[in-house]
Amino acid sequence: MFFLSSEEQKKLLRYYLPKARMEGVAEELRGWNWNQAPLSPVYDTTLGVYEVAGAYCDSARDLYLRRVEKIYQPPNEAMLRGKIFHAIVARIIVNTKKLIYLYGVSAHGKIIDELNKIQLTDVINESFQKSIEALTEKEQEEIRKKGNLLLEFERDRIKARLQETLVKQPYIGEDSLAALTVPIVVEHKLDGSFLGLSRHLSTDAFHSGESMIVDLKFGEPRKFHRLTTTGYALVMEAMYEYPVNVGCLVYVSFVNNRILIHRDIHIISDELRQWFIESRDEKARLIEEEIDPGRASACSHTCPYKGHCQ
Ligand code: SF4
């Protein structure tokens, strides 16, 4: 999921990164300037990046109901599916690193055997058993079918990367093998408090090889999805004081028992940064001043709050 194809890598190196350097970013919109306007938070309320970036409800009434009215709803089927699929990808990546350190370079056959043993039920039983039981049989079946496809796909990709690294590097040690096979930190924890965001943020992935924020999506592409990568880029700049210029949204879909992947690589531009900050301020105001924004222009029939808004 997280590894670019050779064409995408070429585009990143020859197009996106030079373009980002050429266009530049307004200094006041770099995360490390969190202590001055427009980045410094106006309100005390802290938000998750998903709350600032999410616009599935375009009036943000879902946010009002959750944060002001304190109405908590269980995730709908699409949300639960997304959480399980994220957990599958994270499991393969983390286990690969663990197995490399545990068995070392010479026992790479054992690493592959152990990777082959990972089952979808391991991921579901660990954190999702109760929530999945609340779904219909058909929905559960669909999640299992797609989850298994995803698991096989990701497992094969990682095994191939492991082999590719091993054939190129005869004297490699386990630390380098782990870093080259999986140059990704999944569910990277970040403190967003400098920017009026939660202290416990978690990005889907940070690609250390490319210095790029990566976010996985299992639904239809939406314009506002780029706000997620923008939010995490701003937080990384605030925390570590180095520029994060590029984001990548990975859209995964399932067609005729196959996985299709589309990667939206984009520059974290001034426009996106401004849009994120405006959305943060608007939403924090809505919570602090307890403003009910009213219904969205078009409500999805799967919105968990539909019972509260009719
Ligand atoms: S039902 Fe409509 S207005 Fe209510 S939270 Fe959902 S999308 Fe928003």
Predicted local confidence at residue 188, as pLDDT = 85
**Which of the four pLDDT bands, split at 50, 70 and 90, describes residue 59?**
very high
What is the arithmetic mean of pLDDT over 187-209?
86
Ligand 1 pocket test, pick from 299, 300, 308 with the greatest ligand atom count within 8 Å of Cβ, gives: 299
User: What are the sequence ranges of the domains in the chain?
Assistant: 6-67+183-289, 77-181
The three-state secondary structure class of 225 is helix
- Assess whether pLDDT exceeds 90 at residue 281: yes
Among the atoms of ligand 1, which is closest to the Cα of residue 65?
Answer: 5
Q: What whole-number percentage of the chain has pLDDT above 90?
A: 76
C-alpha distances out from residue 166 to 4, 23, 100, 162, Å: 19, 39, 12, 6
Q: What angle is formed at CA 93 by the lines to CA 90 and CA 94, rounded to 5 degrees? A: 80
DSSP H or E stretch at residue 143: helix 137-168
Average of per-residue pLDDT values in the chain: 92
Cα of 251 to ligand 1 centre, how many Å? Answer: 24
Q: Which 8-state DSSP code applies to residue 139?
A: H
Q: Does position 145 have pLDDT exceeding 90, yes or no?
A: yes
- Determine the pLDDT at residue 209: 67
Q: Which protein residue has the closest C-alpha to ligand 1 atom 5? A: 62
Torsion, Cα 97 103 104 107, to 10 degrees, reads -120
CA separation for the pair 203, 229 (Å, rounded): 8
Averaged pLDDT, 125-152 = 89
Single-letter code of the amino acid located at 304? P
As a whole number of angstroms, the distance between CA 208 and CA 168 comes to: 20
What's the pLDDT band for 248 if we cut at 50, 70, 90? very high
Give the global pTM.
Answer: 0.91
Q: What is the pLDDT of residue 265?
A: 95
What confidence score (pLDDT) does residue 129 get? 84
Cα(62) to ligand 1 centroid in Å equals 6
**pLDDT value for 206:** 77
Whole-number pLDDT of residue 184: 86
Residues with CB under 6 Å of ligand 1 are: 57, 59, 61-62, 295-296, 299, 303, 305-306, 309
Closest Cα to atom 8, ligand 1: which residue? Answer: 57
More confident residue, 66 or 4: 66
- Of 125-129, 183-187, 272-276, least confident by mean pLDDT is 125-129
Of 94-103, 187-196, 279-288, the least confident:
187-196
